[in-house]
Chain A
Amino acid sequence: MREKVKPEIKFEEIPGPEELELEKMPYEEYCRKIFDPKKTFEKPEALKGIRWLSCTMYIFTPHSVSNLAELGAEVIKVEMPRAGDPMRHTSPFNEAYLYPLHDTRPFTGTGYGYFHANLNEYYISLDYHRPEAREIVYNLVRMSDGLTECYRPGTFHRWGIGYKQLCEINPRFIYVWGGGFGYGPKVFGGSYDILGQAQGGLASITGFHEDFGGHPVKHTNWVIDWYSGTMITVGVLAALYWRRKTGLGTMIEFSQVHCATRACGYGVPLYGRFGIVRQRWGNWDTQLCVHGIIRTGKSDYPNDPNPQLREEAKYVMVSAFQDEDFRELCYVIGRPDLWEKYKTHKERLKPEAQIEIYGALEQWASDKTRSEVVDILTDAGLLAMPVMNDKEVYECQHFRERGTIRWIEDPIFGDVLVHGGFSVGLLSETPRRVRWVWRPVGADNVRVYHELLGYPISQIKEWYDKGII
């Protein structure tokens, strides 16, 4: 009889699939593992295999394509020879540039205004106006999945490179026109972010009411450009999915001003129901009180040479709209009479009540620093958050650990701080990534025209000398 030799194996020690291991982990640990920013470049890219042409300028349309590039698409940005995208020539106060822009312009750089709108792309130059350019565009279209452009409506059509012509060459082609107004009565209207905010109705409800010395306000940054660009990307992803099902391309026509209207929330429907035109309510809220931003008396940086820190680091967001929270807030600021006066949320919401309540809050905070106010309210179990500036966002550990902001070693421009698409969400399996912020104008002319399209070097040289590329 054979002797039975069997090592004892415990079931718990048998290594299982990684997914099971992950399920044993507490949520925090689990997230840290699957979203680890350090593992970004070990993972695949969702849109790898998609090739997109970006015939775009400024922020709105470039950003829509940059989103694709961050997700792994191969994006070829087409710019005017020597000059490039006009956005390259914009920079805060004309002072922040990375050099060089192009061989022929050694004293010109690309401004920081260009940031985050053209990440990971390959850069070629091409003057579409020239008859020679048409065949080049057709060849690019034959090898690409889509194109985004932002010229006045019908311009590409007139040049023979509009959707109507291109879908004959490549029926699977996805074509995006993004611009100001689109077809309709204002077809020739161009747009900027501020125009979008104004025309779309958004500026009319931003800022304080005139009764409080306020005016319609545009956001300091170009929020509608960034928002509209992202909405185009949503359309492109839907078009790609549609093409996968049907094998057919799509034309996307995207008017920026309408995007600002979408951001107005319930404003237009409210008018439709009651005829009421929504008014600005600034740093307070029309549906919740207390739920706003207040000014405290002292900055957190009283001696800093930078006025933006010395004078401006004084604002706090406070939220205490539920009855028990509002009661606590009134007692903390030493105004229990306000609680007695406004015991229900409906009473607190009235404009007269809000004026009195926020006034009392700012009165209480007038001899305190921003941090003191936040500490006192947080200790009382209320929601309070300092209004942070860029320096504080940079120093915030939460943003760093999640990889919302990252330092990258750009291959050409060196050490740059980026946030890109990381700030809008993390993907566990196919994370967004930033390889480079941009490249000089025409930096990939040989790579694209010679290595991808197969044009001889002599031809490229001739085009370059003639200013076609």
Chain B
Amino acid sequence: MGVMDLTEIIWCKHCNTVNYLDPYTFWNWKGKVKCAGCDRVYYVHIIQGFYYEGPKEMPPGEPYDIMPLYADKPLEGYESYKPGTPGRTRPYLCLPREIYLGKADKVKFSIRGRPVRGWAPQPPSSGLAGSQGFKWDIEKLSPDVWKEYQVKLRKGEVREW
């Protein structure tokens, strides 16, 4: 079994777009996926990386659950929709799993309860050519984490070790 066999696709014949269903999300998944190239919605049921049902085209206007991460048009010079194209693909958040449970988790604090910049997206630098300053102004750049941190401080959840 090759790697490609483990990646399911939806090839939309109306707009000739190949929607790639990444194994991380779709390994065991049931629901409706919107095509990145047009507004058609497909129902799929995937078990252990293989199609159990679908892809089945749904009636026009059907609400969808998720967009693919990446799609391309191999018959049109491989024009592609990169992750995070608005209205077409969803962004790649690269979120780590919650320990043992396998759910995506944003790690915002170290084990001693202090803020750590461990989630995406982060705001771009204000500098030229990718230049960055020497300080993460957490209160300004990540106000929600700052608030959460203040609560932790009050509760005594921030430790030295």
Contact = CB atoms under 8 A, between A and B. Distances in A.
A208 interface: no
Nearest to A462: B129
B54 to A, nearest CB: 28
Q: Which of A100, A108, A409 has the most CB of B within 10 A?
A: A100
A97 B116 contact: no
Interface string A72-96: 0000000000000000000000111
Contacts, number: 120
B120 A106 contact: yes
A442 interface: yes
Interface residues of B, number: 35
A461 B129 CA distance: 7
B122 to A, nearest CB: 4
Nearest to B115: A414
Nearest to B132: A443
Contacts of A461: 128-129
Interface string A107-138: 11100000000000000010000000000000
A119 to B, nearest CB: 15
B61 interface: no
Interface string A387-429: 0000000000000100000010101111111000000000000
Interface string A343-385: 0000000000000000000000000000000000000000000
A95 B103 CA distance: 12
Contacts of B161: 400, 407
A441 interface: yes
A108 B94 contact: yes
Nearest to A464: B129
A125 B110 CA distance: 30
A444 interface: yes
B99 to A, nearest CB: 8
B38 interface: no
A416 B116 contact: yes
A71 B136 CA distance: 25
A459 to B, nearest CB: 10
Contact of A96 (B84, B92, B96): B96
A97 B118 contact: yes
A444 B120 contact: no
A104 B122 CA distance: 11
B122 A469 contact: no
A198 B115 CA distance: 41
Contacts of B122: 99-100, 106
Interface string B100-123: 100000000110101111111110
Nearest to B136: A412
Interface residues of A, number: 43
B127 interface: yes
A412 B118 CA distance: 11
B2 interface: no
B138 interface: yes
A71 B83 CA distance: 42
Given A99-B120, A407-B161, A442 B136 contact: no
B95 to A, nearest CB: 8
B147 interface: no
B135 interface: yes
B130 A441 contact: yes
Given A95-B97, A107-B91, A445 B130 contact: yes
A449 B129 CA distance: 11
A99 B132 contact: no
B23 to A, nearest CB: 12
B55 to A, nearest CB: 26
Contact of A413 (B96, B117, B120): B117
B120 A414 contact: no
25 contacts: A94-B94, A97-B94, A97-B120, A98-B116, A99-B117, A100-B120, A100-B121, A100-B124, A103-B130, A106-B121, A106-B124, A107-B91, A108-B94, A108-B120, A109-B118, A400-B161, A407-B110, A411-B136, A412-B136, A413-B116, A413-B117, A413-B136, A414-B138, A442-B129, A443-B131
Interface of A: 94-100, 102-104, 106-109, 125, 305-306, 400, 407, 409, 411-417, 439-447, 449, 457, 460-461, 463-464, 469
Interface of B: 83-84, 91-94, 96-97, 99-100, 109-110, 112, 114-122, 124-125, 127-132, 134-136, 138, 161
9 shortest interchain CB distances as A-B pairs: A95-B96, A442-B130, A415-B114, A106-B121, A443-B132, A464-B129, A100-B122, A415-B110, A414-B116
